[in-house]
Amino acid sequence: MKLVLASKNEKKLVEMNDILSHLGIEVCSEAEAGVDIEVEETGTTFEENSLLKARAVMEASGLPAIADDSGLCVDCLNGAPGVYSARYGGEGLDDAARYRMLLENMRGQMTRTARFVSVITCCFPNGDVLTARGECPGTIAYAPMGEGGFGYDPVFFVPELKKTFAQLTAEEKNAISHRGTALRLFREQLERYLSGGESYPVKSVGETGMIRGEDR
């Protein structure tokens, strides 16, 4: 089975294939599926934006599409940057500039608890939708540490491991990360969906589980 990833982020593509490959599922890029669209993320929640992206790429490709909307929620900033994590500070900034701005905005803050959130949505051409949410708690470091990962990884510190996400191996990160957790939940749902078994009925896209096309 082939899924199209509604993202141009190559690192997300590798991460998803690592977790889903044992199901015999190939996650391909938009370019490989012949899709070249920009989806405006107008939602106010991770669930809404994930659905917007997955549905748009599914309609453009004619194939099942999977999207991830994720972000960093910092408690002392009232949940910011949240759904605006990728655009924090403006469109022209790179990852390093964004996390430096975050550190500057947290200057003097002693409460540095935060969490990464990821919502995975898969839209099928028949109208069915699977959605899963994962979170990873941590704290914001006072300075960046590590060379790996992407985004805010160098400043997201995991107290239990005494490392930032950027200091973890891919295996270590996948085992605890928000996206790894969401993908494992999604993988369980997808296995049940493909086998024709009962899934988790939900009433809205904001809940983890499944919506049948005929129930929409």
Active site residue 69: yes
Q: One of 69, 94, 153, 215 is an active-site residue; which one?
A: 69
Query: Rounded to an integer, what distance in angstroms lies between the CA atom of residue 172 and that of residue 174?
Result: 6
What is the three-state SS of the chain?
CEEEECCCCHHHHHHHHHHHHHHCCEEECCCCCCCCCCCCCCCCCHHHHHHHHHHHHHHHHCCCEEEEEEEEEEHHHCCCEHHHHHHCCCCCCCHHHHHHHHHHHCCCCCCCEEEEEEEEEEECCCCCEEEEEEEEEEEECCCCCCCCCCCCHHHEEECCCCEEHHHCCHHHHHHHCHHHHHHHHHHHHHHHHHHCCCCCECCCCCCCEEECHHHC
Residues labelled catalytic: 69
